[in-house]
Amino acid sequence: MEKNNTENNQTNLIEVKEEKSNLLSSSLINSITTNFGDQVKLVYKKENRSKILVSPENLVETALYLRNNHGFDHAESASGTDYPADNQIEINYHLGSYSNTDYYPYILVLSTRVDRTDPKSNSLINIFPSVEYHERETYEMLGVFFLGHPRNERFILPEDWADMPPLRKDFRIKGR
Amino acid sequence: MSSLQEKIDEAKKLSLQITKETEDDRLMTLSVGPQHPGSGHFRFTIKVDGDYIVFVDPDPGYVHRGHEKMCEYRNHFQNIPHLERPVIHDSCNITYAYSLAVEDLVGITVPRRGQFIRALASELSRLSYTLYWLAIYGIFLGHSTMFMWPAGDRELLIDLLERLSGARVTNAFNIPGGVRNDIPYNFKEKCLAQVNYFETRLKEYEDIFYNNPLLRQRTEGVGILTKEDAIKLGVTGSVLRASGVPFDVRKVEPYDVYDEIEFKVQYMKTCDSFARAYVPVLDMRESCHIIRQLLDKMPDSGDVREKLQFNIKSSPGETYKRVESGRGALGYHVVSDGTPRPYRVKASVGSFRNLLALPFLLTGSKLGDMPAIYWSLNYWPVEADR
Amino acid sequence: MIKDLVNPTNFNLLVSNIGDVLVKALDAPLGYVINWGRVWSLWPVHLETACCSVEFGAVSSPRYDAERFGILEAFGSLRQCDLIVVQGTVTRKMAPRLRMVYDQMPEPKYVIAMGACAITGGLYLDSYNVLPGIDSIVPVDVYVPGCPPRPETLIQGTMLLQEKIKRSKVK
């Protein structure tokens, strides 16, 4: 963020920080694209955040590469967004790192798009054990089945929930 | 000796034959349910073999009110009152992250005085939340003085928040664009007086609670979460810092004015329940230092808020912003499509991420250690259900 | 001669008259004593429903002391309590448990609906998982509005409940 009325050395500090983190983004994105080439698409690149889009088949491979070579070791959050216009559901994993101090402030969004009529995706539970409950919640809120996850079951909703998954766009709240 | 051992084994075999017990018969299923003096609004099923816990299955969702779905039907300003209800007593932090995300999407910066007031309200909320957590921890372990003292001291801080915003707990003070109103007359002196008094009380807590030999026996060496396990499970907040990882969002990714404030990240390396109970007290001391510096460095005058239109249209895109709340890193992933209402809001809360450590720590421990481990994970059930 | 005076009809009349006199004499003071005992020892069940539980915890704090009214959080069992304070939103998952807890309590029992969400659904009226008010599950005695109600309001609610108990007739 730029502050309009700050002193000179503070603006210098902020510029240096921005350059450093953009450098981090650039080096990370460069290494990913050299390894994976066309299979990875960059969606946006900002200060301390960037997002890559992969196809569902390459998800596990990319996640393994990120864990082994760059030190991303946990997922801050994992969820999905429903896009009925494109007939797809997008699954996002926000990955962070606790062991690599260079990447402390950095969050990389690893996302993939699955078909809305029959949503299935590979589970990343063997690579990042911290996504266990997040994937279970995405299953029950959006209907995405995770292959390899030990329990694709009801978690937060009541046991007798018989309606469609609530976070889909065609589930309308009563009265609105 | 061997003949005695043989006799014991034979007797055991005989008794098993008589009672016809199988392995499954030895396990007893208990439901530590929503109506329980030691569980809050949360249920977990445990299978017990004698005194040892063998299997834990958490069952959240008793307070699931559908905040994420409701966010899609309200515009950015209308989202603030209902988004602060998951953690009602830490409300200045949970709306802070949402305001940061919306300001990022709209593309404005908050005036400097507003940033200082926001940080001040956030620190006061954090103190109020941690004191309530400490009060409930005391009463789960049976130490009722430890319920009365923090609950009483918390009222002094709630007085300060009430002067700022008008409400005791649901402040609705942070809105996209800054804060709602300026600090009242004479606030700085009163705040300094209360914070100074509160620091002397922290010393007294150590005397009756943390140096108490019974508490030490109940929590030291119990529920050990090593550094590798903590990183693998992705826990956050004071649980992570009690396992030796010095990660604090205010230091690592400073938002607003936290890059001008000097403070240290408090962490401990012992990884047991006592460390998880003690790190919040160290955090509270740091919060007092931060509040003093904030009151010192605040500019004397200026706007506190960038006035936005009520139906502000955020530019299409998405963002993820996080702050450090009482439970850990709290992040909001907001997706917008150019209309006044957000397309998707996902709140990644510290309680939900810490829940994964509960089955991991409880299996293999004794039944009597359950309250000490469960509440030390800094888990607030209403927030985890959203 | 006594055998002539004491015959079955006379004896029945005598006993029923003495019974009437006893009821009139003892009913009011005995009822008063029993009601007095119930009013000053209302023990709430330890059931936290939603976010208003923070203000309920603040009621037991040293500033708004609820123990002086006899409201102790009984950490024993459910069977010793006679007051259930429904604090906040009741979701569809919690509703059967609430009814189960209410059924397990012995008579006499009272219900206070605390917070706007327990009265009509409050802020969450249009959510998919929230019950619009607990009137349909348990019979409510006192409604305490607010979101969340201040501790003084909750204490005023309990005093209203105490007035109601004092006026009620003991069977």
Of the listed ranges A42-46, B201-205, B207-211, B363-367, the one predicted with least confidence = A42-46
pLDDT of residue A14 exceeding 70? no
Range of the domain at A57: 8-117
In this predicted structure, what is the pLDDT of residue B292?
92
Instruction: Quote the number of domains for chain C.
Output: 2
Per-residue pLDDT of C11-59, as tens digits, reads 888 888 888 888 777 777 888 888 888 888 888 887 777 778 888 888 8
pLDDT of residue C80 exceeding 50? yes
pLDDT of residue A19 exceeding 60? no
Per-residue pLDDT of B211-225, as tens digits, reads 888 888 888 888 888
In this predicted structure, what is the pLDDT of residue B304?
83
User: Cβ contact (<8 Å) for C126 and A171?
Assistant: no
- Min Cα distance B328 → chain C (Å) is 19
User: Cβ contact (<8 Å) for B61 and A44?
Assistant: no
User: Which one is predicted more confidently, B59 or A14?
Assistant: B59
pLDDT of residue A18 exceeding 60? no
Best of A137, A163, A168, A173 to substitute, by most chain C Cβ atoms within 10 angstroms, is: A173
> How open is the CA angle B374-B379-B385, to the nearest 5 degrees?
125
pLDDT of residue A9 exceeding 50? no
Q: Indicate the pLDDT class of residue A172, thresholds 50, 70 and 90.
A: confident
pLDDT of residue B383 exceeding 80? yes
CA distances from C75 to A77, B35, B250, B363, C51 (A): 37, 11, 39, 26, 21
Residues C29 and C66 in one domain: no
Residues C32 and C64 in one domain: no
User: Cβ contact (<8 Å) for A158 and C127?
Assistant: no
- Min Cα distance A175 → chain C (Å) is 7
Q: Indicate the pLDDT class of residue A175, thresholds 50, 70 and 90.
A: low
* Mean pLDDT, chain A, whole residue set: 79
Closest Cβ–Cβ partner in C55, C94, C124 for B34: C94
Q: Residue A38 falls within a domain, yes or no?
A: yes
In this predicted structure, what is the pLDDT of residue B141?
86
Q: Is C81 on the interface with B (CB under 8 A)?
A: no
CA-nearest residue to C127 within chain A is A173
- Min Cα distance B322 → chain C (Å) is 23
Closest Cβ–Cβ partner in C57, C61, C128 for B66: C128
Residues in C lying within 8 Å of A, measured between beta carbons: 91-93, 126-129
Residues C14 and C75 in one domain: no
pLDDT of residue B98 exceeding 50? yes
Residues C16 and C58 in one domain: no
Q: Residue A156 falls within a domain, yes or no?
A: no
In this predicted structure, what is the pLDDT of residue A13?
38
Residues C83 and C138 in one domain: yes
Chain B residue numbers with beta carbons less than 8 Å from the beta carbon of C148 are 88, 169-170
Order of strands across the sheet that contains C142-144: C83-87, C110-114, C142-144
In this predicted structure, what is the pLDDT of residue B127?
92
Q: CB-side exposure of B98: number of CA atoms within 13 Å?
A: 30
Instruction: Quote the number of domains for chain A.
Output: 1
Q: Residue A16 falls within a domain, yes or no?
A: yes
User: Cβ contact (<8 Å) for C93 and A158?
Assistant: yes
Residues C9 and C57 in one domain: no
User: Which one is predicted more confidently, B248 or B33?
Assistant: B248
Helix (H, G, I), strand (E, B) or coil at B57: strand
Residues C29 and C69 in one domain: no
Tokens representing C159?
A: 């005093």
Q: Is C77 on the interface with B (CB under 8 A)?
A: no
Q: Indicate the pLDDT class of residue B20, thresholds 50, 70 and 90.
A: low
In this predicted structure, what is the pLDDT of residue B19?
67
Residues C54 and C138 in one domain: yes
Rounded mean pLDDT of B70-83? 88
pLDDT of residue A1 exceeding 50? no
Q: Indicate the pLDDT class of residue C171, thresholds 50, 70 and 90.
A: low
Rounded mean pLDDT of A82-111? 87
Chain B residue numbers with beta carbons less than 8 Å from the beta carbon of A92 are 333
CATH number at residue A64: 3.30.460.80
pLDDT of residue B3 exceeding 50? yes
CATH number at residue C143: 3.40.50.12280
Chain A residue numbers with beta carbons less than 8 Å from the beta carbon of B243 are none
User: Cβ contact (<8 Å) for B35 and C101?
Assistant: yes
Per-residue pLDDT of B158-207, as tens digits, reads 998 999 888 888 888 888 888 888 888 889 899 999 999 999 988 888 88
Range of the domain at C152: 40-167
Q: Which residues lie below 8 Å from residue B377, measured CB to CB, with a gap of 6+?
A: B235, B239, B276, B354, B355, B357, B358, B361
Residues C31 and C74 in one domain: no
Question: What is the model's pTM?
Answer: 0.87
CA distances from A62 to A31, B39, C106 (A): 12, 40, 61
Residues C33 and C45 in one domain: no
Closest Cβ–Cβ partner in C50, C75, C128 for B69: C128
User: Cβ contact (<8 Å) for C101 and B148?
Assistant: no
- For chain B, strand residue ranges (E) read 27-32, 43-49, 52-59, 174-175, 178-179, 317-324, 329-336, 344-348
> How open is the CA angle B300-B301-B304, to the nearest 5 degrees?
120
Per-residue pLDDT of B149-158, as tens digits, reads 998 999 999 9
CA distances from C29 to C32, C34, C107 (A): 5, 9, 21
Long-range contacts of range A90-96, CB-CB < 8 Å, 24 or more positions apart? A91/A121, A91/A138, A91/A144, A92/B333, A93/A63, A93/A124, A93/A128, A93/A131, A94/B320, A94/B331, A94/B333, A94/B348, A95/A66, A95/A128, A96/A72
Q: Residue A140 falls within a domain, yes or no?
A: no
Q: Residue A127 falls within a domain, yes or no?
A: no
Q: Which CATH architecture has domain B67-385?
A: Orthogonal Bundle (1.10)
Best of C46, C93, C126, C128 to substitute, by most chain B Cβ atoms within 10 angstroms, is: C93
- Min Cα distance A11 → chain B (Å) is 12
Rounded mean pLDDT of B271-291? 91
- The amino acid that residue A120 corresponds to is K
DSSP run (H or E) holding B138:
helix B112-140
For residue B368, how far is the Cα from the chain centroid?
Answer: 24
Rounded mean pLDDT of C133-155? 89
**Which percentage of chain B shows pLDDT scores above 70?**
97
CA-nearest residue to C125 within chain A is A174
Residues C8 and C64 in one domain: no
CA distances from C80 to A50, B36, C71, C75 (A): 58, 14, 13, 10
Q: Where are the domains of chain B?
A: 2-59, 67-385
Chain C residue numbers with beta carbons less than 8 Å from the beta carbon of A173 are 126-128
